Structure 1
Amino acid sequence: MNKEENTINKELRTDGRFIRQNNQFTTPFGEKSEELPITPHKYRLIWAPVCPWAHRIVIVRKLLGLEYVISLGTLDPIRPTGIGRIDWAFTLDEDQRDPVLQVHYLSELYKNSDPNYSGRPTVPAIIDIQSKKIVQNDYHNLTYYLEREWKKFHCVDAPDLFPKALESDIRSLNEVIFHEINNGVYKAGFAQSQASYEATYELVFNRLDWLEERLSKQRYLHGSQITDSDIRLYVTLVRFDAAYYAAFHVNKKRLIDYPNLWSYTRDLYQTPGFGDTTDFEAIKKHYFLSLHITEETKSKILPKGPDVSLWNKAHDREEKFS
């Protein structure tokens, strides 16, 4: 068994379930001595446009104007091959190295941070630029930190994505979205038994039906304003027809078959910060050509569709819920 197979198998259970690895670098941002200092230009956010967890951090960063204080490094959607491990590479940059951190592989940053790190190197990752060490990769909480702890660096017209009055509701719904939608499609796609796949398949579509009904009554998940919950749901929905429907076998319905979810997601896509950070070509390349849990001998074909122009089709949600 090579190192790549060993890393994959850590997340696959004997009953066929896929159990995602935990995040290791979880120190919160804050003002306390044991917390990460909130300092502009100290950190670099590393992402891959294919990754929903990373995408939601990038959306929040843009909506709040934090791109002026936290720089961004971008990884190739195609994973490097022939290196005996799962990794990401900075092959989109000149000299195939991140121009700020001067590394070729994401794993170099993980090893800088912990020489004994044995999990998959994942995004998003917040890097301390001076030390070239990962200080934060907790995608469960990172948007909350940007929305609250980094508030003094928000742009003047930044939306309140995590209002205190809705905090309990947002956190509760975000847990449901993560387990049944965000990670649900992965648990279906990576399942190694028919029973595990079918159970998760039902979980995903039962929740999509529930969300379809909820969004028939209000413009966004928590009413009339975009919140953190909308961002977390968007990153899965925007990938659904282009990738998950076929690649992960969640094929009961397409997003476009849900009238309210489809118009809701288009509404978000046409909002600055959402569509302009969505890269359908990168998404398709990764999920159809470069996914790490796949049959190596399987022919890899890059789909031509779906028709991306449909995302700019008019929606009536603003008028409907005004």
Structure 2
Amino acid sequence: MSSAQSGNSAYGRKKFKRSPSHFTDRITADGADGWPVEAGRYRLVVSRACPWASRALISRRLLGLEAALSLAVVDPLQDDRSWRFTLDPGGRDPVLGIRYLSEAYDARETGYPGGVSVPAIVDVPSGRLVTNDYLQITLDLATEWTALHREGAPDLYPEALRDEIDEVIEGVYHDVNNGVYRAGFATDQQEYESAYRDVFRRLDWLSERLAGRRYLVGDTITEADIRLFTTLVRFDPVYHGHFKCNRSKLTEDPVLWAYARDLYQTPGFGDTVDFDHIKRHYYQVHTGINPTAIVPAGPDLSGWLTPHHRDQLGGRPFGDGTPPGPPPEAEHIPPAGRP
């Protein structure tokens, strides 16, 4: 059996531990790591199924970096070489000319033994991977790429609020973003229940925090909201059942459900979400915990477009800025992937 296939079938049979990013070079305004910010030089590779990659997608949209940082979307299903460009004509990325993201990893480090992950940023001229540091990529898009931001772009990581944002996202990362995976891939009852308790303890804390405020930190959308949203939007379609995080659904928490709908209906959030990719990836790739690969028909997604009334709490989604325009035509989500 191939390494990728055996890895997928091993979920739920070996203790889950998220690997740190191996390639942590940064693309910065001063080019300190050898990778200066430059329009058109880099390509962002994402899976619309992956919550970590979706954070980069949202940040890119909100900041108006579509023209400066091109986008490649991989197939939500993987084969023995992991992420592949089978959605593109001829099965090759039209810019990088490769069939598998692993080719960009190999160009960076021959024989790299680790996993091939998204989001990834690739240097187009050389075809080499620059970074797969999912925790740092969005922060750098917000702070290092400012010369290429659209007019009216929001400040997603305001300096005066960074300590509070960092504190909030640390808890969200451990208990929610990563907590659902620790529960879903647990190998024994104690491990599962510990993660389960972390998930819902933090969700209860978040619900209480958001009951009287529109956004997690300050009165505008920040990095903290982006990081929480990408887990919440996947909660009922996959985490509640597939990962056994089933104390309650997102739709059963009035505060978090309204908060998630508010963000989903904000330009830059819902227009990056592809529920078809999300469901097919989790249920058909994680064969260790779903050996039949059957994809559930539900849940009903129409509720995402219902009124949320969160605007009554005040707040200014984009601060002194403006909403992003419509996504490029090539990046529209097919109707099957949307409510």
TM-score normalised by L of structure 1? 0.93
The 1:33/1:211 distance shift into structure 2, 3 A limit, reads: closer
Q: What is the rounded CA distance, in whole Å, between the counterparts of 2:160 and 2:308 in structure 1?
A: 29
**After superposition, where does 1:190-269 map in structure 2 within 5 Å?**
190-269=185-264
Partner of 2:44: 45
The CA deviation at 1:131 is 0.8
Task: Read off the aligned partner of 1:172 and give its amino acid letter.
Answer: E
The CA deviation at 1:195 is 0.9
Q: What is the rounded CA distance, in whole Å, between the counterparts of 2:211 and 2:41 in structure 1?
A: 43
The CA deviation at 1:255 is 0.4
Partner of 2:71: 72
Whether 2:15 is the aligned partner of 1:22: answer: no
Instruction: Show CA shifts across 1:58-93 (max 9, x none).
Output: 10000000111000000011112xx3x5x0111111
Partner of 1:308: 301
Number of equivalences: 314
Q: What is the rounded CA distance, in whole Å, between the counterparts of 2:2 and 2:300 in structure 1?
A: 39
Partner of 2:174: 179
Does the aligned pair in 2 maintain the 1:47–1:75 contact within 8 Å?
A: yes
The 1:120/1:171 distance shift into structure 2, 3 A limit, reads: same
Q: What is the rounded CA distance, in whole Å, between the counterparts of 2:182 and 2:219 in structure 1?
A: 32
Partner of 2:55: 56
Q: What is the rounded CA distance, in whole Å, between the counterparts of 1:24 and 1:7 in structure 2?
A: 18
The 1:235/1:276 distance shift into structure 2, 3 A limit, reads: same
* Structure 1 vs Structure 2 CA RMSD: 1.9
Task: Read off the aligned partner of 1:23 and give its amino acid letter.
Answer: S
SS in 2 for 1:205: helix
TM-score normalised by L of structure 2? 0.88
Task: Read off the aligned partner of 1:51 and give its amino acid letter.
Answer: C
The 1:320/1:71 distance shift into structure 2, 3 A limit, reads: same
Q: What is the rounded CA distance, in whole Å, between the counterparts of 1:315 and 1:227 in structure 2?
A: 19
The CA deviation at 1:293 is 4.3
The CA deviation at 1:10 is 10
The CA deviation at 1:288 is 1.0
Task: Read off the aligned partner of 2:33 and give its amino acid letter.
Answer: E
Q: What is the rounded CA distance, in whole Å, between the counterparts of 1:256 and 1:11 in structure 2?
A: 27
The 1:142/1:293 distance shift into structure 2, 3 A limit, reads: farther
The CA deviation at 1:266 is 0.1
1:111 to 106, 111, 115: 106
SS in 2 for 1:246: coil
The CA deviation at 1:143 is 0.7
Whether 2:317 is the aligned partner of 1:317: answer: no
The CA deviation at 1:111 is 1.2
Instruction: Show CA shifts across 1:180-201 (max 9, x none).
Output: 1001101111111111111000
Whether 2:161 is the aligned partner of 1:166: answer: yes
The CA deviation at 1:35 is 4.2
Q: What is the rounded CA distance, in whole Å, between the counterparts of 1:55 and 1:178 in structure 2?
A: 15
Q: What is the rounded CA distance, in whole Å, between the counterparts of 2:241 and 2:32 in structure 1?
A: 48
Q: What is the rounded CA distance, in whole Å, between the counterparts of 1:293 and 1:28 in structure 2?
A: 35
Q: What is the rounded CA distance, in whole Å, between the counterparts of 2:12 and 2:286 in structure 1?
A: 15
Structure 1: segments with no counterpart, 5+ residues: none
The CA deviation at 1:22 is 1.3
The CA deviation at 1:300 is 2.0
Displaced runs of 4 or more, over 6 A? 8-13
The 1:213/1:68 distance shift into structure 2, 3 A limit, reads: same
The 1:292/1:145 distance shift into structure 2, 3 A limit, reads: farther
The CA deviation at 1:223 is 3.1
Does the aligned pair in 2 maintain the 1:55–1:235 contact within 8 Å?
A: yes
Partner of 2:327: none
Using the TM superposition, name which of 110-119 and 43-52 deviates more.
Answer: 110-119
Partner of 1:4: 4
Does the aligned pair in 1 maintain the 2:62–2:268 contact within 8 Å?
A: yes
Using the TM superposition, name which of 48-57 and 166-175 deviates more.
Answer: 166-175
